[in-house]
Amino acid sequence: MRILHCSDPHFDLSLRSIPWKKLFGKRAIGALNLLGGRGRYFDEAEEKIAALARFKERYGVDLVLCTGDVTALGLTAELENAAELLAPLAQPPKHFIIIPGNHDVYSADVIRGDHFHYYFGQYMHTDWPQYAVDGPWPIVRLFSEDIAVVAVNSAKPNPLPWRSDGYIPPAQLEALEKILQDHRIKDRWIFVMTHYAARLANGRPDKPNHGLRNADEFLNVCRLIQKGAILNGHVHRCYRTSLADEGLNIDEYCAGSVTMEGRECFWLFDVNQDSMKVHQGYFDKEAYEFKLRKS
C-alpha cells in the first residue's frame, strides 16, 4: 500500500473578503501577521495542492493522511474553501484522513460550532467507535490486513498570542493505549497521526509555548507499537527523527508544510506485510510538479 503524508497547506482567503468584525482577539493578531508578510509564503497554496493531487494520481497513491493546519485563521469561510481545494486529493473519501491543526481551531468559536467536523467529518469516521471517547477521537481506520491508522487530536485554541502549543486530552491517551493493546491491531503497521511534534529534528522536545505539552506521555504510550510511524506537522520543515533513545521501535516523521514557499515537502510510504520504504517528496518549481528525492 502506498501512503502519502502531507501537512500544513495553510489555505487563506484575501483579507479583503473577510468582514473585519470576524477579526477579533487572536485572529486580529493573526491577520496582522498575514499582512506583515507571513501570508506570502503560501500565496500559491491552491496551485501546489492541485500539483499534489496530480502527483497522487501519477504515482498511484492509495491513502492520503493530512495532519492539519488547512487554514490560516480558522474562519468558516476558510474551512469551506479548504474543503473544496482538498476534495480532488481526498478521492475516494474513505482513503483520506484528516485531523485539525491549531490554526483550524484558532479560537473557541470553532470548537463550539464544531466547524472543522462540519466541513471534514466525512474523512473522520472510525472503524472502532467503542474507543471514541472525546468526540470522534481517537479515530481508528484499518486498511487491508496489514495497516492501521490511529488519529488523536492535539489541537486546541490558544487565546494568548504568544502561545501555539498543543495537548492530547488524557481520555484520548488512555483510549490510545487500549487501542494499541488490542490484539486485532498489534501485528499491523500502525501510523499514529497528531498535529504537534513530539520531538524536533534534533530529537529534543519543542518549546513549551509551541510544542506538544504532554509529548512524554504520548511517546510512552507509543512504546507499544512494534512497527509503523508517528506522523505530524506544525513545524514547517520536513524531518525524520529516530525515537530509539526514547525506547520506541518507530520513528517520527514531520511533513512540514506541503505549500510553504521554498520548503514544500511530504512523505511517501510504500508498505507491505514485511517491509516499509520511505521517500521524501519535494516541489520542482521549474516543472511546477512534486517529485521524489533520490534515496
Predicted confidence at residue 276, as pLDDT, reads 98
The β-bridge partners of 181 are: none
Q: Which residue has the higher pLDDT, 38 or 252?
A: 252
Predicted confidence at residue 30, as pLDDT, reads 46
- Give residue-wise pLDDT tens across range 148-184: 999 999 998 776 666 789 999 999 999 999 999 999 9
- Give residue-wise pLDDT tens across range 181-208: 999 998 999 999 999 999 999 999 999 9
CA distance 205 to 164: 14
Q: What percent of the chain has pLDDT over 70?
A: 87
Q: What is the rounded average pLDDT of the residues 81-88?
A: 97
Task: Please name the amino acid found at residue 148.
Answer: A
Checking if the pLDDT of 39 tops 70, the result is no
Boundaries of every domain in the chain: 2-292
The model's confidence at residue 27, banded by pLDDT at 50, 70 and 90, is very low
Residue-wise DSSP of 233-288: -SSSSEEEEE-GGGT-SSEEEEE-BSSSTTTBEEEEEEE-SS-EEEEEEEEETTTT
Of 139, 119, 143, nearest in space to 63 by CA? 143
Task: Please name the amino acid found at residue 266.
Answer: F
Predicted confidence at residue 23, as pLDDT, reads 46
Cell numbers 525524520: residue: 240
3-state SS track over 188-213: CEEEEECCCCCCCCCCCCCCCCCCEC
Q: What is the rounded average pLDDT of the residues 114-129?
A: 95
Q: What is the rounded average pLDDT of the residues 120-125?
A: 97
Domain 2-292: homologous superfamily in CATH:
Metallo-dependent phosphatases (3.60.21.10)
CB of 266 closer than 8 Å to CB of 258: yes
Residue 174 CB-density burial (10 A; 0-12 exposed, 13-18 middle, 19+ buried): middle
Predicted confidence at residue 158, as pLDDT, reads 75
Cα–Cα–Cα angle for 98, 256, 270, rounded to 5 degrees: 65
Q: State how far Cα 51 lies from the chain centre.
A: 19
